[in-house]
Chains A and B, each alone.
Chain A
Amino acid sequence: MKFIIVAGTPGAGKTAVLIHTIKVLLHQNIKPAVVKIDCLYSDDPKRFASLGVPVQLGLSMDMCPDHFSIYNTDAILEFARVQNSEFLIMETAGLCHRCAPYTTNSLGVCVIDATSGPNNPMKVGPFLSCADIVVITKGDMISQAEREIFRQCILETNPNCSIIEANGLSGQGASELAMQIKSTEKNVSEKESLRHNAPFAVCTLCAGEKRIGASYHRGLLRKMNGMQEYVGE
Chain B
Amino acid sequence: MKIHQITIQAGIDKLGNSERLPDLQIKKGEIFGIVGPTGSGKSQLIADIEQLAQGDTASKRKILINGEIPTHELRTDPRKKMVAQLSQNMNFFADMPVADFLRLHAKCRGKNNVDIKHVISIANTLTGEPINESDNLTILSGGQTRALMVADVAIISESPIVLIDEIENAGIKKHEALQLLSGEGKIILVVTHDPVLALSAQKRIIMRNGGMRDIITSTYREQQIALQLNNIDQYILSLREEVRAGKKIEQVNFEVLQQEWSTCSTCL
Contacts and interface: CB of A to CB of B under 8 A. Distances in A.
Interface of A: 114-119, 140-146, 148-149, 151-152, 163, 165, 167, 170-176
Contacts of A149: 94, 101, 104-105, 108
A175 B53 CA distance: 12
Given A145-B149, A148-B78, 7 more contacts: A119-B94, A144-B153, A146-B94, A148-B108, A172-B51, A172-B56, A173-B56
Contact of B92 (A114, A144, A146, A152): A146
Interface string B201-233: 000000000000000000000000000000000
A143 B92 contact: yes
Given A152-B104, A170-B57, A145 B95 contact: no
A163 B76 contact: yes
A116 B95 CA distance: 10
Contacts of B50: 144
B173 interface: no
Most buried by B among A117, A146, A165: A146
B105 A172 contact: no
B87 interface: yes
A165 B51 CA distance: 9
Contact of A152 (B57, B107, B153): B107
A144 B85 contact: yes
B152 A145 contact: yes
Looking at B51, B89, B95, B156, the one whose CB has the most chain A CB atoms below 10 A away is B89
Nearest to B56: A175
8 contacts: A117-B95, A143-B152, A144-B85, A148-B105, A152-B104, A152-B107, A172-B57, A175-B55
B93 interface: yes
A142 B92 CA distance: 7
B236 interface: no
B109 interface: yes
B47 A140 contact: yes
Interface string B18-60: 0000000000000000000000000010010011000111100
Given A149-B104, A149-B108, A144 B84 contact: yes
A140 B165 CA distance: 13
Contacts of A171: 58
A91 to B, nearest CB: 22
A52 B206 CA distance: 39
Contact of A172 (B58, B92, B96, B157): B58
A118 B47 contact: no
A171 B53 CA distance: 13
A176 B55 CA distance: 11
A117 B101 CA distance: 11
B151 to A, nearest CB: 11
Contacts of B81: 148
A22 B149 CA distance: 37
Contacts of B153: 144-145
B58 A170 contact: yes
Nearest to B78: A148
Pairs A-B, 7 closest by C-beta atoms: A170-B58, A148-B78, A144-B85, A152-B108, A148-B108, A145-B105, A172-B57
B89 A142 contact: yes
Contacts of A146: 92-94
B189 to A, nearest CB: 14
A179 to B, nearest CB: 9
Contacts of A151: 78, 108
A171 B105 CA distance: 27
Nearest to A142: B93
Contacts of B93: 114-117, 141-142, 146
A143 B95 contact: no
A118 B89 contact: no
Interface string B101-132: 10011011100000000000000000000000
Contacts of A114: 93
Nearest to A175: B56
Contacts of A116: 93
Contacts of A172: 51, 56-58
A141 B101 CA distance: 17
A117 B93 CA distance: 6
Interface string B125-153: 00000000000000000000000010011
Given A143-B92, A149-B108, A163-B76, A176 B85 contact: no
B156 A145 contact: yes
B56 A176 contact: yes
